[in-house]
C-alpha cells in the first residue's frame, strides 16, 4: 500500500508536529510504502523570504531524518525538486470546476487569518491533488479537519479520468485517530501561529525555559489539583508511561505538589524521550553533505515514479 504524507517547511519542528504526523509516518514505513515530501511549494503561499525558506527546508529534512524517517524504507524528497508536479497541477486545473475550489474551507480560513488572498492560495487544493496523484498514492493519512482536501483530490481525479481515461489512481483518506488537542505553553492549541510551541531540538536551556513558562492557575503548592485541568499534566501524559502518568496524577490530587516540580519532571521526560533523536540530529548537522545526498537521491527516486505517470498523462491529453 502506498502512503503519502507531506509537511510544510514552516519553521522549527515541535512536539505537536511529532505527535500529529511524524510519529505515525515512522510507523507507516515499517509496513507500507511511505512517500514523504517537504511541501515547500505550498509554503510559498505564506512565506515570502527566500533565505528563510531555504533554511526551513533544510531544517525539515534534518528533523525528519533525525526523528526516524529511513530513506532505505521510504522515499523522502523536496516538492519543488520534481518539476512534474507543477506540470500536472496545470493539467488538473483545466478540468477542475471553479465551484469545487470555492467550496474549500481552507482558503476562507486562511484569508480570515490575514493570509494574502492570492490565486496560489485559492488553487492550493489542485497542487495538493497533483502531489497525491503524481505518485499514484493509495492512502492519505489526514486529520478530520483535512478530510476535504482528499475529497477534492478524488473529485478532480474522477473528472480527469472521465475525460481522458482511467489513468489516475483514486486515493482514500485515512482519518487518523484523534489526538487530544496538544496544548501550547499558553494553553491554546500548540501552533507556530500562536508562538506557543515547544521545539523538539531547542537548546537545553531554551527547552527548560519554554517548559517553565507553561501557563498554570494560581493554586498553591499545598492545594489538591485536578490533573486533567492543567497543561503540564496534559503534556506529560502524552509521553510518559501509564505508571508514571498515574503517579503524577495522584500527586496532583493529593496536594503538596507544585507546578514547578511538575514542570521539572516534564522537562526531564522530554529530554529523555527525545535524547536519542537530539543526538542523531547533531550527527546529521555535522555532515551537511549527507543531507544534500539524501535530497538528491530522494528526488531521483520520486522523479522516476512521477515521470512514468506524467508520460501517461501527456499522451492522454495529446501533448505527445
Give strand pairing partners of 75: 35
Q: Where is 77: in which H helix or E strand?
A: strand 74-78
Give strand pairing partners of 189: 183
Please choose, from the candidates 266, 198, 190, the residue with its C-alpha nearest in 3D space to the C-alpha of residue 233. Answer: 266
- The cell numbers describing 15, all together, are 512536539
Q: Where is 308: in which H helix or E strand?
A: helix 288-317
Are 6 and 38 contacting, i.e. CB atoms less than 8 angstroms apart? Answer: yes
> CA-CA distances (angstroms) from residue 230 to 20, 125, 209, 234, 316?
21, 37, 18, 7, 58
Kindly list the catalytic residues: 110, 189, 192
In terms of Cβ atoms closer than 10 Å to its own Cβ (0-12, 13-18, 19+), residue 38 is buried
Are 106 and 149 contacting, i.e. CB atoms less than 8 angstroms apart? Answer: yes
CA distance 116 to 126: 18
The pairing of beta strand 2-7 with beta strand 74-78: unpaired
Residue 239 is classified by DSSP as T
> CA-CA distances (angstroms) from residue 252 to 102, 245, 304, 306?
49, 11, 56, 54
> CA-CA distances (angstroms) from residue 288 to 53, 58, 74, 126, 205?
17, 10, 21, 34, 25
Backbone angles phi, psi at 227, to 5 degrees: -60, -35
CA dihedral 305, 307, 311, 312 (to 10 degrees): 20
Amino acid at each position: 500500500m502506498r502512503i503519502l504524507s507531506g509537511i510544510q517547511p514552516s519553521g522549527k519542528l515541535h512536539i505537536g508536529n511529532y505527535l500529529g504526523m511524524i510519529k505515525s509516518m515512522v510507523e507507516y514505513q515499517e509496513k507500507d510504502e511511505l512517500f514523504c515530501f517537504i511541501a515547500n511549494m505550498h509554503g510559498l503561499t505564506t512565506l515570502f523570504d527566500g533565505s528563510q525558506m531555504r533554511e526551513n527546508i533544510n531544517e525539515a529534512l534534518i528533523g525528519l531524518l533525525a526523528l526516524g524517517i529511513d530513506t532505505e524504507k521510504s522515499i523522502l524528497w523536496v516538492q519543488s525538486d520534481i518539476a512534474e508536479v507543477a506540470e500536472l497541477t496545470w493539467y488538473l486545473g483545466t478540468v477542475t470546476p471553479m465551484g469545487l475550489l470555492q467550496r474549500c474551507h481552507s482558503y476562507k480560513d486562511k484569508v480570515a487569518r490575514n493570509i494574502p488572498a492570492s490565486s496560489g492560495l485559492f488553487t492550493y487544493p489542485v497542487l495538493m491533488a497533483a502531489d497525491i496523484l503524481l505518485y499514484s498514492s493509495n492512502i492519505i493519512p489526514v486529520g478530520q479537519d483535512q478530510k476535504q482536501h482528499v475529497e477534492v483530490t478524488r473529485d478532480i481525479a474522477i473528472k480527469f479520468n472521465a475525460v481522458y481515461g482511467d489513468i489516475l489512481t483514486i486515493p482514500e483518506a485515512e482519518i487518523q485517530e484523534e489526538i487530544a488537542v496538544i496544548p501550547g505553553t499558553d494553553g491554546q492549541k500548540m501552533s507556530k501561529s500562536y508562538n506557543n510551541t515547544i521545539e523538539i531540538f531547542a537548546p537545553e536551556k531554551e527547552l527548560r525555559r519554554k517548559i517553565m513558562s507553561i501557563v498554570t492557575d494560581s493554586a498553591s503548592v499545598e492545594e489538591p489539583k485536578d490533573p486533567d485541568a492543567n497543561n503540564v499534566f496534559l503534556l506529560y501524559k502524552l509521553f510518559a508511561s501509564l505508571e508514571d502518568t498515574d503517579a503524577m496524577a495522584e500527586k496532583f490530587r493529593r496536594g503538596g505538589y507544585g507546578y514547578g516540580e511538575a514542570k521539572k519532571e516534564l522537562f526531564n521526560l522530554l529530554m529523555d524521550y527525545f535524547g536519542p533523536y537530539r543526538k542523531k540530529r547533531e550527527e546529521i548537522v555535522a555532515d551537511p553533505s549527507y543531507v544534500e545526498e539524501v535530497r538528491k537521491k530522494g528526488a531521483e527516486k520520486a522523479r522516476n515514479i512521477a515521470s512514468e505517470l506524467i508520460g501517461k498523462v501527456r499522451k492522454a491529453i495529446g501533448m505527445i
